[in-house]
């Protein structure tokens, strides 16, 4: 199951994105290894997953727990895989999420903090987490409001969660730079170094603003097979 195959199109997409990341780092005066490419594999085929593994990719983002299990359970034994949940998490899926993911990027409310802490106490497994911030205060979007972020970060730390940083998805119709700058500011004042920001359309901008993790899907795999769903994981 872990035997990976190569796909010339996907392989060259990985090369192109990695080159762009390296160039953006050079322009920003940053070392390229300070930015981790998270390949977003939601809706992708098994062949695409194998091609990504064949291209040497080991860090993956998924936005639904169930689909992530289908994609990765049998590939989990592979060397050095890191799985990151980047979609909303319902409390009734916390056990599955904790069992599967190394990092949960979408902690955005106290109820979820409590559920994660309880699961960690029960299982001894404590995935690293990011707090998702709704930088544009969009009513339909997940994430804690910027003015409530400090309190949530404090709650998560007090509950014993391993908080590594912050994550955001800026509004689609706005220039992302201000949102990335806001996320960086909140991270700095809370002593957090991880910044998950930037997608296919804006990861180079995000690197300029200090992203440590860029979440890239369509620039690697092409357009997704089914429309992106906003349903909770
Ligand atoms: C789908 C998704 C991405 C990747 O989006 P692309 O535009 O395809 O690169 C990144 N982050 C989140 C939270 C997503 O849901």
Distance CA 93, CA 75 (A): 21
Q: Which atom of ligand 1 is nearest to the CA of 203?
A: 9
1 vs 224: which has the higher pLDDT: 224
Task: Point out which residues pair with 85 in neighbouring strands.
Answer: 62, 104
* Residue owning the nearest CA to atom 10 of ligand 1: 215
Smallest Cα–Cα separation from 135: which of 42, 202, 227, 40?
A: 202
Instruction: State the closest ligand 1 atom to the C-alpha of 86, by its place in the atom list counted from 1.
Output: 13
- 174, pLDDT greater than 50: yes
What would the mean pLDDT of 141-166 be, rounded to a whole number? Answer: 98
- Ligand 1 centroid to Cα of residue 60, in Å, is 11
- Please give the number of the atom of ligand 1 that sits closest to the Cα of 215: 10
Query: What's the whole-model pTM score?
Result: 0.94
pLDDT (0 to 100) of residue 223: 83
Lowest mean per-residue pLDDT among 4-8, 94-98, 188-192: 4-8
Confirm or reject: Cβ of 86 under 6 Å from ligand 1.
yes
Strands (DSSP E) along 133-176, which ranges?
162-167
Separation CA 55–CA 51 (nearest Å): 6
Cβ burial of 221 (10 Å; 0-12, 13-18, 19+) is buried
Out of 13, 61, 167, mutate this one to test ligand 1's pocket (max ligand atoms within 8 Å of CB): namely: 61
Indicate if ligand 1 lies below 6 Å from the C-beta of 218. Answer: yes
Average pLDDT over residues 117-145: 97
- Atom 13 (ligand 1) nearest CA: 86
Give 228 Cα–ligand 1 centroid separation in angstroms.
Answer: 9
Pair of tokens at residue 212: 């440590």
Instruction: Tell me the mean pLDDT in the region 157-180.
Output: 98
**Is the predicted pLDDT of residue 228 greater than 80, yes or no?**
no
Average pLDDT over residues 18-27: 98
- Are the CB atoms for 59 and 38 separated by under 8 Å? yes
Residues facing residue 86 across a β-bridge: none
pLDDT of 77 above 70: no
Q: Is the CB of 169 under 6 A from ligand 1?
A: yes
CA 200 to centroid of ligand 1, rounded, Å = 7
Reading the block at residue 147, the tokens are 């003015």
**pLDDT for the residue 232:** 55
Question: Average pLDDT for residues 77-100, to the nearest whole number?
Answer: 93
Q: Where are the domains of the chain?
A: 8-221
Residue 80 has a pLDDT of 86
pLDDT at 227 over 80: no
Whether the CB of 215 sits within 6 Å of ligand 1 = yes
122 Cβ neighbours under 8 A, 6+ residues apart: none
Asked if residue 40 has its Cβ within 6 Å of ligand 1, the reply is yes
In this prediction, residue 4 carries a pLDDT of 60
d(CA 90, CA 107): 10
In angstroms, the CA 187 to CA 150 distance is 9
Considering the domain 8-221 in this protein, what is its CATH number? 3.20.20.10
Q: Which residue has the higher pLDDT, 228 or 221?
A: 221
The pLDDT of residue 1 is above 70:
no
């Amino acid at each position: 199951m872990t035997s990976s195959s190569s796909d010339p199109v996907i392989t060259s997409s990985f090369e192109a994105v990695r080159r762009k990341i390296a160039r953006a780092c050079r322009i920003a005066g940053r070392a390229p290894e300070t930015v981790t490419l998270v390949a977003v594999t939601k809706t992708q085929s098994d062949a695409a997953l194998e091609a990504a593994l064949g291209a040497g990719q080991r860090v993956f983002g998924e936005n639904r727990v169930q689909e992530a299990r289908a994609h990765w359970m049998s590939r989990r034994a592979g060397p050095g895989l890191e799985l990151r949940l980047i979609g909303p998490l319902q409390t009734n899926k916390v056990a599955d999420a904790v069992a599967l993911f190394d990092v949960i990027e979408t902690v955005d409310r106290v109820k979820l903090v409590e559920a994660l802490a309880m699961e960690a106490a029960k299982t001894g497994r404590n995935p690293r987490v990011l707090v998702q911030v709704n930088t544009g205060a969009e009513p339909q979007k997940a994430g804690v409001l910027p003015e409530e972020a400090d309190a949530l970060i404090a709650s998560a730390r007090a509950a014993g969660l391993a908080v590594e940083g912050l994550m955001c998805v800026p509004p689609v119709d706005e220039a992302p730079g201000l949102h990335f700058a806001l996320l960086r500011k909140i991270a700095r004042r809370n002593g957090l170094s991880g910044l998950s920001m930037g997608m296919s359309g804006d990861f180079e901008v995000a690197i300029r603003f200090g992203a440590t993790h860029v979440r890239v899907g369509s620039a690697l795999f092409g357009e997704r097979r089914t429309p992106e769903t906003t349903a909770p994981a």
